[in-house]
Amino acid sequence: MSQPFVRLQGIKRRFGLIQALSGADLDLYSGEVHGVLGANGAGKSTLFNVLGGLVSPDSGGIEVEGSSVKLRSPRDAWARGIGLVHQHFTLVPALTVRDNLRLGVRGHSLTAAVAAAEAKMERTGLRVPLEANVSELGVGDRQRTEILKALLRDPQVLILDEPTAVLTPEEADGLFSVLKDLARDGRAVALVAHKLDEVLAVSDRLTVIRAGRSVMTAPRSQVSVRELVAEMIGDGIADEVAMGGQAGSSSDSVAVGTVQVPGGASAASPSTERGRMVVASLVGVYADRLKDVKLEVRAGEIRGIAGVEGNGQHDLALILSGRKSPSLGLANIPKEVAFIPQDRHAEGLVADFDLTENVALALSRMAEFGSRVMMPWGVLRGEAERIRAQFEVVAPSVETRAQLLSGGNQQRVIIGRELALKAPMLVAENPTRGLDVAATSYVHGELLKLASEGVAIVLISTDLNEVLRLADRVSVMTKGRMVEVSESQKTREGVGALMLGGGEASN
């Protein structure tokens, strides 16, 4: 451990008005798993992109094995043995998984590549259908493919940005044992994940980034969760966040105290409110990936729908939110449904529009925002200002383009906008995917608050803990069918078994 394999020092990078990194340092030693922590927008992704050669720093030094280098492209980084697994997918949708894996591997024959891929799949438990076209895969399978692709190139340093966001707990565990194996083989692994307990469980050392700067680096064994959260958030609110965040919600490796989400989970006592009005119902609904779905959502309840990615949840979300009609069956849906789609970048926001325009995207449907012909920009701008202030969106102004915001801030814009619709129902699909503890806790708080105000909420999530913690009633989706979970099955193990039962059957 005398000399780090990679050393980043004083990295600065600015995007337009926004200083993403203002002096970040990171040392990666061979043989360690290094967890990078930080709030949304702290600069973690940018730092990883610098390391992966995707973003060149404005200033600061990069050393690989003691010699100063410039990483001008991912190719440069790969040539130095540094491999980045992307947060956003870089697969070719029209090609099969096998061909995509081949694209990443140079100098291998087709059969060798496939054999290597199969060996890796066997060893890591990251299974993907090799012959399927990537366009047919769900997000989970795409993520697995992405990770396999990087592993096949045998990097000295593997950098993973939110690799577990779309994996089941078992798959995440599988991935972590792979990462530990890699470290044991003398590789360096650097990792960002939004679930604090995951990072803590797998990392040997940790670096905390706050506001574009590295504020702490320490071996895992020498810091407490409370210290880490305090460093991530800065002063003041650390305790509150640590209490409400995802960390420690289920994992026994970390003790953070009881889980108490701001907004009051206790207020919505589970499934005692049977007498409430039915806000939406589906009967015998079929669609591309749905089979005979029956569902009833009542005012003031959080209806949780768990399931492994790609079992029909997205179709369900689109139908429940009125964005799509079922091919068969009866869907009784309120005229306006607030919707937090799972893909913020593609479906939730227009990346090229500013905040006002993104707010207008939904609000202009409301009668009070002007005539059918004109856009009342003055009023809409005011509304965007209100949302920015009330939901604490970190953005220079409402004229900032949405793509310049971090994931957490994008989600705040979407939530603020959808809540402003004052719809009787909200459909949220993986609303905390890729968000850090503070942002996750914030989103959960908003959902609970809404439910307590009488809004019917459908929470569709691949994060089992999230569903179990928030939902009054839980169903599981497997292979397009819906299975209601009885009170006695409502445990992590019980629901997990139902999820996996379907997941395995679909392969």
Partner 1 sequence: MTLGVAAVLLMLGGYDPVQAAAAMLRGSVGSWNTFVSITLVRAVPLLFAGLAVALAFRAGVWNIGAEGQLYVGAVAGVWVALTFTDLPGPFLVTSALTASVVAGGAWALVPALMKLRLGIGEVITTILMNFVGIYLAAWMVHGPLQERRGVFPQTDRIVDAARLPELISGTRLHLGFALALVLAGMLAFVLQRTRFGFHLRAVGASPAAAVVAGRIDTNRVILLTFLASGAIAGLAGGVEVTGLTYALYEDLSDGWGYTAIAVALLGGLRPGGVIVTAIFFGALQAGAGAMQRDAGIPAAWVDVVEALVILAVLGLDRIRAARVGHHAGEEAL
Q: Which residues bind partner 1 (CB under 8 A)?
A: 15-16, 18, 20, 40-41, 43-46, 49, 55, 87-88, 318, 321-323, 339, 341, 343, 345-353, 357-358, 360-362, 364-365, 370, 372-375, 377, 394-395, 403-407, 409, 414
CB of 462 to partner 1, least distance (A): 19
Structure token pair of residue 188 = 């360096």
**Rounded Cα–Cα distance for residues 267 and 262 (Å):** 11
Do residues 283 and 330 lie in contact, with contact meaning Cβ atoms separated by under 8 Å? yes
Nearest distance from residue 474's CB to partner 1, in Å? 25
Task: Report the residue number, 26 or 405, with the smaller CB distance to partner 1.
Answer: 405
**What is the amino acid identity at position 433?**
R
What residues form DSSP beta bridges with 209?
214
| Closest approach of partner 1 to the CB of residue 49, in Å | 7
Contacts of 185 (CB under 8 A, 6+ apart): none
- Distance of closest approach, residue 327 Cβ to partner 1, in angstroms: 17
**Nearer of residues 165 and 498 to partner 1, judged by Cβ:** 165
Q: Which of residues 41 and 502 has its CB atom nearest to partner 1 in the complex? A: 41
DSSP 8-class letter at 507: -
Which CB, 365 or 492, lies closer to partner 1? Answer: 365
User: CA torsion, points 26, 27, 32, 36, in degrees to nearest 10?
Assistant: -10
Which residue lies nearer to partner 1 by CB, 53 or 322? 322
Angle at 192 between CA 190 and CA 195, to 5 degrees: 135
Half-sphere exposure of residue 136: CA atoms within 13 angstroms, side-chain side: 10
Q: How far is the CB of 308 from partner 1 (least distance, A)?
A: 22
Q: Is 62 exposed, middle or buried (0-12, 13-18, 19+ CB in 10 A)?
A: buried
| Beta carbons of 167 and 151 less than 8 angstroms apart | no
Query: Among 244, 264, 299, 260, which Cα is nearest to 442's?
Result: 244
Is the Cβ of residue 321 or residue 478 nearer to partner 1 in the bound state? 321
Q: How far is the CB of 361 from partner 1 (least distance, A)?
A: 4
- Cβ 182 to partner 1 shortest distance, Å: 25
Nearer to partner 1 (CB atom), residue 49 or residue 465: 49
CB 65 within 8 Å of CB 100: no
Residue number with CB closer to partner 1 (259 or 395): 395
- State the DSSP H helix or E strand holding residue 28, giving kind and residue range, or none if neither: strand 18-28
SS3 at position 130: coil
Query: Tokens 């409502």 label which residue?
Result: 490
CA-nearest of 338, 331, 329 to 428 is: 338
- Residue placing its CB nearer to partner 1 in the complex, 128 or 404: 404
- Rounded Cα–Cα distance for residues 197 and 200 (Å): 5
CB 285, min distance to partner 1, A: 19
Q: Which helix (H) or strand (E) holds 184?
A: helix 169-184
Minimum CB separation of residue 494 from partner 1 in Å reads: 33
Strand (E) or helix (H) holding 35: strand 33-37
Q: How far apart are CA 72 and CA 62, in angstroms?
A: 11
Q: Which is nearer to partner 1, 20 or 425 (CB)?
A: 20
In DSSP terms, which residues pair with 27 in a beta bridge?
Answer: 7
Q: Which is nearer to partner 1, 405 or 458 (CB)?
A: 405
Nearest-CA neighbor of 501 among 475, 474, 477? 477
Min separation Cβ 252 and partner 1, Å: 31
How many whole angstroms separate alpha carbon 480 and alpha carbon 103?
32
The Cα 374–Cα 18 span in angstroms is 33
